[in-house]
Amino acid sequence: MANTQLLRFAGALLIACAGASLIACDKSPSNSQAAVSAGPEVKGNVAVLRVGTSSAYPPFTLRDKDGKPAGYDVDLLNAVGAKLGYKIEWTTAEFSGLFGMLDTNRIDTIAQLVSVTPEREKKYRFSTPYAYSGAQLVVKPDSSVRTLEDLKGKTLGVVLGINLQQYASEWNAAHGNPFTLKTYQDNNGVYDDVVNGRLDAFIDSQITAIVQINARTLPLKLASDKPLYEIKHAYPFRNTTADQALADRFDKALGELIADGTLTRISDKWVGSDVSKH
């Protein structure tokens, strides 16, 4: 089943790359601009859950052949919406601007394989985790790089604004900046930069890395069998009374989808294995 899904997903990757021009820039506003939400917006007689994504992080968010949102996150949120009676309204922006949009009440949550970190937990209420992964370095087959220590004098790529950038930046600074860190707005083209030698390594989630390498038959590998650190992924919500209530309803629906096997089926469809369990 995994091979079939990976072959089908290879075409989706090309569509996601072609759809990169659809991504809009967004500057993150300051925390002082944060607004209090009243829960899901109502348009007509329909409650709307506003979700922000880059639509450029396959297999979790991408665009299908018709230019519509697709992927693991999209299927899951559509299932949650069906349980709650909410319509899902998608807003596309660069990942670096999505938390600013959440802070200022332009969206209700983010669908982008968001990692749960201690810093984010201080500010946001997270849903139950819906995927588990690990941080990995992606390198060429003949590379001697296994860990960040091996990148001295080399260049490491990372997507701007994600927790992996913070991790790599802090590690680099703490060790005297032994490598150059090059940032990207999304992972479109980054794997090709490793293949072509413009990057010595790229840091990504293990899930995404394995799917990208297998689906596109790229001459790349994970640098090590052991991840740099483990990651759990969940949906963030604002810490307001109304949003806490929304998050509670969301979590109840998500729990039902976990219990009835829907999340496992979505994971098998898009990843080829069940990454919803730790």
- Alpha-carbon distance 260 to 254, whole Å? 10
- Alpha-carbon distance 171 to 53, whole Å? 27
Segment holding 101, helix H or strand E: helix 95-103
The pTM of the whole model exceeds 0.85: no
Q: What is the pLDDT along the chain (278 residues), one digit of tens a residue?
A: 444 444 444 444 444 444 433 333 333 333 333 444 446 676 656 799 999 999 988 899 999 999 999 999 999 999 999 999 999 999 999 988 999 999 999 999 999 999 999 999 999 999 999 999 999 999 999 999 999 999 999 999 999 988 899 999 999 999 999 999 999 988 878 999 999 999 999 999 999 999 889 989 999 999 999 999 999 999 999 999 999 999 999 999 999 999 999 999 999 999 999 999 87
Beta carbons within 8 Å of 61's beta carbon, 6+ residues apart: 53, 54, 55, 69, 70, 71, 72, 73, 74, 111, 112, 113
What does each C-alpha distance from 240 to 40, 72, 173, 243, 244 come to in angstroms? 13, 27, 35, 5, 6
Strand ranges, E, within 79-189 = 86-92, 109-110, 124-126, 131-139, 155-159, 180-184
Phi then psi dihedrals of residue 48, to 5 deg: -120, 125
Number of Cβ atoms within 10 Å of the Cβ of 40: 23
